[in-house]
Structure 1
């Protein structure tokens, strides 16, 4: 079911709900991709009511009058507007990929409003971390026997060298899926029609992130935190996710075997079991 609410600047934003139980607010990645690609997160809706946000200018949400509000720090304020709309004292948050940055920005600005925090194959720009060539090589070399590997490797080298053509990005797509099968190919083919390119370019612009403030907020955070990496994910290699985990006291870091950047597609049962176990844990006592 689709619902709407009004953001801090008057922009009408949409979200859909699916499932039952305590709400889990889900922030999509891309950045700035229609949340449709999340589906029902591999059946996670059987355990929670998923409140899946379409960020401004994506999906069924309106385009803002001021496009500078596509920047991630403003998107954090959209989450706060959603919390108020839902009438919740605290939010359990799920952030996928670039959506993890949005969740981290929100945690930095509204620390007392965050309950459980689940970051899945997270982007780490908000804390100033980036994947090294060595970390990426760890996940690419294990795919060497795949028929698409030679072309994908050449394309990746061209992207790293600054020649990031659409053809090159298409060629490296298999590195983001645990299995490059028909389902993965269909999921990837839908991306171009789901992403707001202008918004994506603005998302991480100057002023979007304050890594020192976010690191401090995470160091002080006492809520339950799950960081889930895909074993063969080029986008958020497990070594990078482990570095993020080192910034969060008592964070639980899980590597899903055989998974890429969309672990609910690669093994829905394993994914939902990990998330459900985390979400069902008793909450830590309030500070």
Structure 2
């Protein structure tokens, strides 16, 4: 298992999958180990996936200072990762909350990013967050599912700030395009792969300065894919269009029938979209 040292001395691990042109992969969660990404639906057959375990997750060490879990403080980890790999410019894929980290890294080091694939990604770094109304709109699309009533009651508890661990487990089907055996097995790995204490610090006050990030990216020449799942509320397809509109060379794409983990819902469709984008 390869490692490198972050600027603050924390030893960070990463995992290699596949062959081909390198693709630096930042997981979401926030603060979930990269294992949940698998081989990104077979994308490893087309690209060499270089998958970071964020500090305090997976095989990476726990930092001495918990304040370094804040997303803007982790930008230095990504840049040290790039330098360690010896890549002058990198293609980056970021999922979910990893989108904020990727965007902050691009804002600070725009000339080091050749392309960015934002996969059902957050963009609080640009001033875009997902409102409860967005989540409710996406949830309503699943009303015909046999699990809907139980999951919806649990989501009401989440929205009310009264959720138990069982409620959080019960809403898992909303994140998948199909709630089948594979999705259930994948959802069951969440707790063991996630650092929830670190997640609470990820978007702590001061993490984001959207005006500064937008100004830094105003002349950015990198191509950006903003992929949304048709059934996902984070982001809704129309919010993905809004995110893309904030970046100079961004393209929004909606994957039909997909939830928040589109490489699981339709691997062939997902890998086709991403590889077509990466090929330019």
TM-score scaled by length of structure 2: 0.97
**1:235–1:261 contact (8 Å) kept in structure 2:** yes
CA distance in 1, matches of 2:21, 2:9: 27
| Structure 1 stretches of 4+ moved >3 Å | none
CA distance in 1, matches of 2:227, 2:46: 18
**2:217–2:247 contact (8 Å) kept in structure 1:** yes
Q: Deviations over 1:150-173 (max 9, x none)?
A: 122222222112213222211211
Q: CA deviation at 1:130?
A: 1.9
Q: Deviations over 1:17-38 (max 9, x none)?
A: 1111121100000000011000
Q: CA deviation at 1:122?
A: 0.4
**After alignment, is 264-273 or 120-129 more displaced?**
120-129
Aligned match of 1:213: 212
Q: Deviations over 1:211-245 (max 9, x none)?
A: 11122233322211001001101332222222211
CA distance in 2, matches of 1:150, 1:221: 45
The reply to whether residue 136 of structure 1 matches residue 121 of structure 2 is no
**2:4–2:84 contact (8 Å) kept in structure 1:** yes
- The two structures, once aligned, show a CA RMSD in angstroms of 1.2
Structure 2 stretches lacking a partner, 5+ long: none
CA distance in 2, matches of 1:104, 1:93: 10
Count of residue pairs brought into register by the alignment: 280
Q: CA deviation at 1:250?
A: 3.0
Aligned match of 1:66: 65
Secondary structure at the aligned position of 2:218 is classed as helix
Q: CA deviation at 1:278?
A: 0.6
Q: CA deviation at 1:136?
A: 2.5
CA distance in 1, matches of 2:184, 2:145: 15
Aligned match of 1:10: 9
**2:132–2:159 contact (8 Å) kept in structure 1:** no
Secondary structure at the aligned position of 2:64 is classed as coil
Instruction: Output aligned runs, 1:256-267, within 5 Å.
Output: 256-267=255-266
**After alignment, is 171-180 or 122-131 more displaced?**
122-131
TM-score scaled by length of structure 1: 0.94
Aligned match of 1:164: 163
Q: Deviations over 1:184-231 (max 9, x none)?
A: 011011101110111111111122121111222333222110010011
CA distance in 1, matches of 2:217, 2:149: 40
**After alignment, is 127-136 or 250-259 more displaced?**
127-136
Structure 1 stretches lacking a partner, 5+ long: 282-287
The reply to whether residue 270 of structure 1 matches residue 273 of structure 2 is no
CA distance in 1, matches of 2:18, 2:271: 13
Instruction: Output aligned runs, 1:93-112, within 5 Å.
Output: 93-112=92-111
CA distance in 2, matches of 1:82, 1:24: 12
